[in-house]
Each structure stands twice: as C-alpha cells, then as structure tokens.
Amino acid sequence: MRAVVQRVLSAEVSVGEETVGSMGRGLLALVGVAEGDGEAEARALASKLVHLRILADERGRMNRSLAETGETLGVVSQFTLLGDARKGRRPAFTEAAPPERAEPLIELLVERARAEGVAVVTGRFRAHMKVSLCNEGPVTLLIDTERRF
C-alpha cells in the first residue's frame, strides 16, 4: 500500500454537494492499494499512521502521534498513487489493485485504526471526490509498505 500523508489543521471530503468526511487537526492519508497487497499491508499501514510521530508536542516539535494526541485520521482511497508515468504522457495503472480487492483493504485499514482508539473520517470509495485541506507545516510524507522509497 502506498500513502501520501499530510499533517492538517482541517480537511473535508465531498462528493457532489454532499460533505462525506470532515475533520479538524490530524493526519490526512491518501491511500492507494497495490496489486498483491493484503491484510498484512493494511494492518501495517494502519499502525504506521496511528503511531507516526509527526504531530507537534508542547514545544512545537514533530514528536507526537495520533495515538498520543487524540487527533483525527482522514483516509481517502486514491488508486492514482499507483500510477506509472515513466513512459509516455499517459500514466499506466496496472500496479493498482482492482476495486473489488482494494475496497476491503481500505476498510480494514480504517477498522484497525479505529480499534487503536483513533477517530477516523473517510471519503467514499469509487466516488469522484473533492478533497480540501489546510496542510500544517507544511508536513507531507510518502509511505510505502513495500519500502520502495
């Protein structure tokens, strides 16, 4: 699984005119599921997101996690993170898992994060979403469960 993780002051996900997810401070993760990913990767990414120490402590240093602060995790499925644009001008998405395999893994990631006591908001799988956010820092990280980067 691959994620772009941003520390945010706020974020909102809408589908059409409907707001489907809204949050204050925390981490917003855009998550792509790769072909071959399974439950182990979903659990590992959930744990990484919950315990990633990039939130500010009392001195303003990146030293706290969602588990410590009680802030919110936003999870938005985004297959385009698996796009390969090395050749030509149109990306190939052959590394992305098909929706019927990806959706249960996104749901498992959300379930595992909630089981660790973190509030989670989500987008809507397979919907054309609009994501608005206020990145704090800015702090943005790339995470890949296969450790390709």
Catalytic residue among 6, 19, 69, 80: 80
Q: What 8-state DSSP symbol labels residue 34?
A: B
Q: Is 6 part of the annotated catalytic residue set?
A: no
Q: Is 79 part of the annotated catalytic residue set?
A: yes
Domain ranges in the chain?
2-144
- Closest of 144, 148, 134 to residue 49, by C-alpha: 144
Question: Residues 6 or more apart from 12 whose CB is under 8 A from it?
Answer: 19, 21, 22, 23, 131, 132, 133
Work out the end-to-end distance of the chain between its first and last CA atoms, rounded to an integer number of angstroms: 12
Catalytic residue among 6, 72, 78, 122: 78
Catalytic residue among 19, 69, 72, 79: 79
Q: Does domain 2-144 have CATH number 3.50.80.10?
A: yes
How much is the pTM? Answer: 0.95
Peptide bond into 99 cis (omega under 30): no
Per-residue pLDDT tens over the stretch 13-67: 999 999 999 999 999 999 999 999 999 999 999 999 999 999 999 999 999 999 9
Average pLDDT, the chain: 97
148: pLDDT strictly greater than 90: no
CA gyration radius, the chain: 15
